[in-house]
Amino acid sequence: MSPAARWAGAGALLGTVACLVALAPAQWLARPLATATAGRLQLHEASGTVWRGDARLVLSGGAGSRDALMLPGRVGWALGWGDGALALTLTQPCCLSAPLPLRIEAGLSRLVVALPAGNDAGAGIGQWPAAWLAGLGTPWNTLQPGGTLRLSSPGLRLEWVQGRARLEGAAVLDFADASSRLSTLPVLGSYRVAVQGAGAGGDVATLRLSTLEGPLRLSGEGQWTGPRLRLRGEARADAGHEAVLRNLMNLLGRRDGERVLLSIG
């Protein structure tokens, strides 16, 4: 084979590879996402390409779980390259307040996903129906929560290095007008989980659970280190609401007089 023919063959091969990459179907994203989240977050009915597409977002209890719930509408994405990293923009008309920009850096045994500081959605990234959590299985399928989950962050950076995670920045998750089928009260209260990332040189993020309002009082503090989440706190019922909240509180943790001790991890 002549040198010209070899160059022509190499060019054709590179062109074919480039075409395959450019037209890679959106379905190719489904398996990596499910693997990374142990099957708890899934893409269904994906259409388009890896670079620009949309799909239905599903929460599941993971492998073998019979619980799965799909959000209304579709989540869309646009993936490109800029400033030495992947630039991902997410849209979700039902839930995201505005297009959500994310910066992704990938390397050997390292992955960084960052929400830039000062992003347009920083004051309020979005809100989702709390009923969606029932798709995760136990204990959410028993609680059958109602209300709204609202996420906000001024900037956040999550880094995985050789399987170990580190969080920088801050985020607030509000659970507004929470309810449960285990209580006849139409609203249990509104709650906040504030997350503060690790400081310089550290790898421990802190969490604080507090009650904004409502007859069911929740409080607690915790830490998140890599894959491990640890939280200790308590639940109390306001005077006059003890009986109507008894069944729910018994499910939340171990009784200690008038309070219930909360323990995660």
Gap between the Cα atoms of 236 and 242, Å rounded: 8
In this predicted structure, the answer to whether residue 21 has a pLDDT above a threshold of 60 is no
- Better-predicted residue by pLDDT, 36 or 4: 36
How far is residue 188's CA from residue 177's CA, in Å, rounded to a whole number? Answer: 7
Q: What is the mean pLDDT of residues 150-157?
A: 91
Q: Would the pLDDT of 16 be above 60?
A: no
Q: Which two tokens stand for residue 227?
A: 């894959």
Q: What is the pTM of this model?
A: 0.84
**At a CB cut-off of 8 Å and minimum separation 6, what does 219 contact?**
209, 210, 211, 233, 234
**Percent share of the chain, pLDDT over 70:** 86
Task: Answer yes or no: is pLDDT of 199 > 80.
Answer: no
Output DSSP code: residue 214: S
Per-residue burial over 22-56, b if 16 or more Cβ lie within 10 Å, else e, is: eeeebbebbeebbeeeebbbbbeebebbbeebbbb
* H or E stretch at 195: strand 189-196
Q: What is the pLDDT of residue 88?
A: 92
Are 156 and 169 a contacting pair, CB within 8 Å? yes
Distances from the Cα of 54 to the Cαs of 32, 51, 80, in angstroms?
16, 10, 15
Question: If we measure between CA atoms, which residue out of 98, 148, 95 comes closest to residue 120?
Answer: 98
Q: For residue range 69-127, what is the model confidence (pLDDT) as tens digits?
A: 888 889 999 998 877 888 999 999 999 989 999 998 887 778 888 988 765 544 589 99
Q: What is the pLDDT of residue 139?
A: 86
